[in-house]
C-alpha cells in the first residue's frame, strides 16, 4: 500500500504550544512526541518508510478552539496558517498539504480565514478540534449551533471538507472521569465527545440545509458505523422535539455526508 494519504498528521509551533492544560501522558513519551510535532524533515523520512505519499497537516488539539479570547483566536489562526504554509508545506510542497485552523469563536471571521487559506495558501479544507471556547474554558460553542451557519455556508461554497477532530470533554463535564483521568483523551473520552458532536450535526438539520457538505471523522468514524443503527432505532420511539430538526435518518447522513 504505497502512496497513501495521511489525514490526521499534527504539527505544533513553538510560539503556540497547542497541547492544552491536561496532563495524563507519560512525560518521557510526550517529550519525543512534542519534538516530532515541531519538525518537518524527519516527518517526510517517516512517510517514505511507511509508504505515505502525501500528509495533510493540521495544528494539534485543542488548537485555536482552546483560545478563550475571540480577538486573539482570529489573530492566531492567521499566524498559524501562514506558519504552516511557509515553514512546513513550502519545504516539501510535493509531499505536504494542510488543513486550515479557523477561529470559530467568530464564525464570519472563520469563514473568511478558511477562504483565504484555501484560495491564497492552497489548503485543502479545515480541521476543527471539537467545540470552541468562548470567554472561558467551560463555555463552548458546538458546530451545529445557529451562530456557526455563516461558516458552513462558506464551506459548502468552497467545496472543501471539514475534519472534525477530537477534544477532551469540557472541564465541568468530567465528573465521570474523576480518578480515571487517563480516559479523558485518546484512550476513550475523545471518541465519546466527537461521536456525540457528530450526532448533533446529523440531528440539527445541517445536512438538509447544506446537502453538499463533507465532514471527515477519524478512528473508524469514532465508532458511529457500529453504534448509530441502535441510536436511530431508539430515536424512532422518542418525541420528535427531543432529537433535533433532521429530515432523514441519521445513518443516511453518515453514508452521504461523512
pLDDT at residue 233, as a whole number: 96
pLDDT at residue 127, as a whole number: 98
| Residues of the chain below pLDDT 50 | none
pTM: 0.95
Edge-to-edge, what's the strand order for the sheet holding 4-11? Answer: 4-11, 52-59, 96-98
pLDDT at residue 21, as a whole number: 61
pLDDT at residue 28, as a whole number: 82
pLDDT at residue 5, as a whole number: 97
pLDDT at residue 29, as a whole number: 81
C-alpha span between 224 and 208 (Å, rounded): 20
pLDDT at residue 227, as a whole number: 96
Q: Which domains does the chain have, with CATH numbers?
A: 60-257 (3.20.20.140)
* Residues paired with 216 in a beta bridge: 163
Parallel, antiparallel or unpaired: strands 132-134 and 162-165: unpaired
Amino acid at each position: 500500500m504505497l502512496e497513501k494519504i495521511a489525514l490526521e498528521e499534527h504539527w505544533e509551533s513553538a510560539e503556540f504550544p497547542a497541547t492544552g492544560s491536561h496532563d495524563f501522558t507519560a512525560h518521557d513519551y510526550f517529550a519525543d512526541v512534542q519534538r516530532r510535532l515541531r519538525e518537518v524533515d524527519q516527518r517526510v523520512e517517516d512517510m517514505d518508510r511507511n509508504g505515505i505519499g502525501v500528509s495533510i497537516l493540521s495544528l494539534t488539539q485543542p488548537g485555536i478552539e482552546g483560545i478563550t479570547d475571540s480577538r486573539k483566536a482570529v489573530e492566531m489562526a492567521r499566524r498559524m496558517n501562514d506558519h504552516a504554509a511557509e515553514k512546513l508545506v513550502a519545504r516539501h510542497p510535493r509531499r505536504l498539504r494542510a488543513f486550515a485552523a479557523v477561529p470559530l469563536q467568530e464564525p464570519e471571521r472563520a469563514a473568511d480565514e478558511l477562504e483565504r487559506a484555501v484560495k491564497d495558501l492552497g489548503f485543502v479544507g479545515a480541521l476543527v478540534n471539537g467545540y470552541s471556547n468562548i470567554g472561558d474554558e467551560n463555555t463552548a460553542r458546538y458546530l451545529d449551533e445557529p451562530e456557526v451557519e455563516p461558516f458552513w455556508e462558506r464551506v459548502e461554497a468552497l467545496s472543501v471538507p471539514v475534519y472534525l477532530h477530537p477534544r477532551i470533554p469540557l472541564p465541568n463535564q468530567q465528573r465521570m472521569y474523576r480518578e480515571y483521568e487517563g480516559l479523558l483523551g485518546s484512550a476513550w473520552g475523545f471518541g465519546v465527545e466527537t461521536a456525540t458532536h457528530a450526532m448533533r450535526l446529523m440531528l440539527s438539520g445541517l445536512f438538509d440545509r447544506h446537502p453538499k457538505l463533507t465532514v471527515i471523522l477519524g478512528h473508524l468514524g469514532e465508532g458511529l458505523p457500529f453504534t448509530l443503527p441502535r441510536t436511530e432505532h431508539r430515536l424512532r420511539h422518542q418525541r420528535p422535539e427531543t432529537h433535533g430538526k433532521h429530515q432523514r435518518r441519521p445513518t443516511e447522513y453518515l453514508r452521504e455526508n461523512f
